[in-house]
Amino acid sequence: MFFKNLRADIDAAMKNDPAARTRLEVYLTYSGIKALVWHRRAAFFYRIRLRLFARMLSQWAKFRTGIEIHPAAKIAAGVFIDHGAGVVIGETAEVETGVVIYQGVTLGGTGKERGKRHPTVRKNAVISCGAKVLGGFEVGEGAKIGAGAVVLQEVPPYATVVGVPARVVKVSLPPAHPEP
pLDDT digit string, tens, across residues 107-117: 999 887 888 99
| Contact yes or no for 168/159 (Cβ under 8 A) | yes
Altogether, the residues listed in the chain come to a count of: 180
Name the helix (H) or strand (E) containing 25: helix 23-29
Q: How confident is the model at residue 178 (pLDDT cuts 50, 70, 90)?
A: low
C-alpha closest to that of 35 among 92, 82, 94, 99: 82
User: pLDDT (tens digit, 9 = 90+) per residue, 115-150?
Assistant: 899 999 999 999 999 999 999 999 999 999 999 999
Judged by DSSP in three states, 32 sits in helix
Q: Residue 51 and residue 72: Cα distance in Å, rounded?
A: 9
Q: What pLDDT was estimated at residue 5? A: 93
Q: pLDDT higher for 175 or 82? A: 82
Q: Residue 13 and residue 100: Cα distance in Å, rounded?
A: 9
Q: Residue 74 and residue 38: Cα distance in Å, rounded?
A: 13
What is the amino acid identity at position 107? L
Mean pLDDT of the chain: 94
The mean pLDDT of 77-105, rounded to a whole number, is: 96
Domains of the chain, earliest start first: 2-171 (2.160.10.10)
| Contact yes or no for 96/123 (Cβ under 8 A) | yes
Given a cut of 70, is residue 177 above it in pLDDT?
A: no
What is the amino acid identity at position 119? P
Q: How many CB atoms lie within 10 A of CB 56?
A: 14
User: pLDDT (tens digit, 9 = 90+) per residue, 15-60?
Assistant: 999 999 999 999 999 999 999 999 999 999 999 999 999 999 999 9
Tell me how far CA of residue 6 lies from CA of 56, 61, 77, in angstroms. Answer: 22, 16, 7
What is the amino acid identity at position 139? V
Q: Residue 141 and residue 126: Cα distance in Å, rounded?
A: 9
